[in-house]
């Protein structure tokens, strides 16, 4: 059974329990294995809950994410190394690994999430095409939607 790292945008669908989430959960069999989220995604969701004044029910669902998925910390040496490599690669500055497209400015949170997927060798489930240049080089990207 494959394990995955879920990007923040996918977790938003999980919180809503919408049809998109139901389809992804079934397609990737997310209920039958331990899957993971980055502590960075959790921080992004907490910030969204405050900015958007989420009610008690949705905030409670946010707490459930921590029990349903394994939360991976970023204070891991390999993640720190991958963060630096992915940042340099995205800017076309990583020696011995040329970037085949124009340089990309990735958001810092996306860099942390990509580094986590790369370090733990977890396929990344995301709606975000900004990770596309990393697919095959640093991670296995599953673009949804």
Q: DSSP secondary structure string, 29-76?
A: TTTSS--EEEHHHHHHHHHHHHHTT--HHHHHHHHHHHHHSEEEPS--
Contact 104, 70 (CB under 8 A): no
Note the pLDDT tens digit of each residue in 58-87: 888 888 888 889 999 999 999 999 999 999
Task: Specify the pLDDT at position 98.
Answer: 85
Please state whether 40 falls in left (phi above 0), alpha (psi between -120 and 50) or beta.
alpha
Task: Specify the pLDDT at position 145.
Answer: 75
Number of Cβ within a 10 Å radius of residue 75:
7
d(CA 63, CA 4): 20
Tokens of 97: 């690994």
Residue 87 to residues 22, 35, 73, 84, 133, Cα–Cα distance (Å): 33, 25, 19, 5, 12
Note the pLDDT tens digit of each residue in 4-58: 999 999 999 999 889 999 999 999 999 878 999 999 999 999 999 999 999 888 8
Number of Cβ within a 10 Å radius of residue 20:
16
d(CA 38, CA 109): 10
- The domain defined by 5-143 folds into Rossmann fold (3.40.50)
The reported pTM is 0.94
Structural domain boundaries in the chain = 5-143
């Amino acid at each position: 059974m494959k394990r995955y790292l879920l990007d923040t945008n996918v977790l938003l669908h999980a919180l809503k329990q919408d049809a998109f989430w139901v389809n992804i959960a079934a397609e990737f069999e997310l209920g039958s294995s331990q899957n993971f989220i980055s502590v960075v995604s959790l921080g992004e969701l907490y910030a969204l809950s405050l900015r958007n004044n989420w009610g008690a029910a949705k905030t409670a669902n946010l707490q459930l994410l921590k029990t349903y998925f394994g939360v991976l910390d970023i204070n891991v040496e390999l993640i720190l190394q991958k963060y630096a490599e992915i940042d340099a690669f995205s800017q076309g500055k990583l020696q011995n690994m040329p970037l085949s497209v124009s340089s990309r400015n990735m958001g810092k949170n996306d860099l942390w999430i990509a580094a986590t997927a790369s370090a733990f060798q977890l396929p990344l489930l995301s709606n975000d095409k900004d990770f596309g240049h990393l697919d095959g080089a640093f991670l296995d990207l599953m673009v949804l939607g």
